[in-house]
Amino acid sequence: MPNLKVKVGRLELQNPVMPAAGTFGYGEEYASLIDLNRLGAIVTKGISLAPQEGNPPPRIWETRGGMLNSIGLHNVGIEQFAQQKLPVLRRFKVPVIVNFFGFTIDEYVAAARRLSALEGVAALEANLSCPNIKAGGIHFGSTCISVIEITKKLVKSTNCAIIIKLSSQVSNIKEIVLAAEGEGAEAVTLINSVPAMAIDLDREKPVLGGVTGGLTGPAIKPIALKAVWDAASSVKIPVIGAGGIMDYRDAVEFLMAGATAVQVGTANFIKPTTMVEIIEGIDAFLEQRGLKNIREIIGSAQL
Ligand SMILES: Cc1cc2nc3c(=O)[nH]c(=O)nc-3n(C[C@H](O)[C@H](O)[C@H](O)COP(=O)(O)O)c2cc1C
């Protein structure tokens, strides 16, 4: 059997496959559909200090080659997460990565501090890239200065591994990942959804309740691959790739482009068993090629 183990910062994962934040609920929702213990890690939906109602419906809209969403980071807030959601996740043996966000830098720091004090939180993924909220989100991840400021404060205020999640919609992805690495981030995740929208011809109005949203799924895969390629050639810390991964071949492309691990999002809505199939597919792919260790294909697509 090929060795699929990877290291993401201080986390040791049994394989590189994990859900993308916000597409897998709090994890427990999928426990009856797949064996969560097969995953490399569990990634929760984005959590904030206080509960959030999110945006008005419709929040999800299918497009050609992808999906639009405008959830607006609806979540139960940290306290309810700590009391009701995390205890369920502690029963599984895979590391739990908590995705989180704030509307100000102070809120990010306060949320990180509180979350890192909770038993069973292995790492924190800071969402600096959400296109669906009016304040915060993507604004914090778009410039080097803000990435430096926020990463520095997050690393200082917690004992947890900090992963910085970024958008492809930035001026210079290489400089931004270098900024995150320089301030002590243990990994970066690329990419979040791509700002997008749809118009309802009959109503002559935007389709989404939140007016604009984020595009995900196969339509964004080439954009995500390029971001991962650029990031992986710039930093030494692991890059976690996300964006349009629907099967093991997509996942292998991301690994070859330099991702150490991959996140699967939109595919979970279509087929909840996708991640397990991807793990099995990577395993079979390595075996067919006579490769013993997944490390042999990470970043293998060199010029
Ligand atoms: C319904 C939905 C909710 C999402 N919520 C979050 C979130 O809370 N935090 C976050 O960082 N990314 C969030 N994302 C972005 C995904 O984690 C992922 O980066 C994106 O969907 C690209 O992967 P995919 O094409 O495989 O879906 C969300 C995406 C979708 C579709």
Give the pLDDT of the chain (303 residues) as one tens digit per residue: 999 999 999 999 999 999 999 999 999 999 999 999 999 999 999 999 999 999 999 999 999 999 999 998 899 999 999 999 999 999 999 999 999 999 999 999 999 999 999 999 999 999 998 665 555 566 677 778 889 999 999 999 999 999 999 999 988 999 999 999 999 999 999 999 999 999 999 999 999 999 999 999 999 999 999 999 999 999 999 999 999 999 999 999 999 999 999 999 999 999 999 999 999 999 999 999 999 999 999 999 988
User: Residue 265 C-alpha to ligand 1 middle, in angstroms?
Assistant: 6
CA–CA distance, 7 with 295 (Å, rounded to integer)? 10
Active-site residue list: 130
User: Residue 113 C-alpha to ligand 1 middle, in angstroms?
Assistant: 23
| 29 token code pair | 């929702």
For the domain bounded by 6-55+71-193+217-296, which CATH number is listed? 3.20.20.70
pLDDT, position 66:
97
Ligand 1 contact, 192 CB (< 6 A):
yes
235, amino acid identity: V
Other C-beta atoms lying within 10 Å of the C-beta of residue 12:
12
Cα–Cα nearest to 241, from 39, 227, 7, 42: 227
Ligand 1 contact, 217 CB (< 6 A):
yes
Ligand 1 contact, 99 CB (< 6 A):
yes
User: Residue 250 C-alpha to ligand 1 middle, in angstroms?
Assistant: 17
pLDDT, position 47:
97
Task: State the closest ligand 1 atom to the C-alpha of 21, by its place in the atom list counted from 1.
Answer: 17
User: Residue 114 C-alpha to ligand 1 middle, in angstroms?
Assistant: 23
Ligand 1 contact, 72 CB (< 6 A):
no
User: Residue 192 C-alpha to ligand 1 middle, in angstroms?
Assistant: 6
Task: State the closest ligand 1 atom to the C-alpha of 73, by its place in the atom list counted from 1.
Answer: 8
Mutate to test the pocket of ligand 1, among 61, 216, 266 (most ligand atoms within 8 A of CB): 216
Provide CB contacts within 8 A for 299, sequence distance 6+.
232, 255, 256, 257, 258
- Helix H or strand E encompassing 262: strand 261-264
Task: State the closest ligand 1 atom to the C-alpha of 20, by its place in the atom list counted from 1.
Answer: 17
Ligand 1 contact, 137 CB (< 6 A):
no
- DSSP for residue 29: G
Q: Are strands 123-127 and 161-166 parallel, antiparallel or unpaired?
A: parallel
CA torsion 109→118→191→228, rounded to 10°? Answer: 100
Ligand 1 contact, 22 CB (< 6 A):
yes
- Going by alpha carbons, the residue nearest to atom 3 of ligand 1 is 22
The pTM of the full predicted model, rounded to 2 decimals, is 0.97
Task: State the closest ligand 1 atom to the C-alpha of 45, by its place in the atom list counted from 1.
Answer: 8
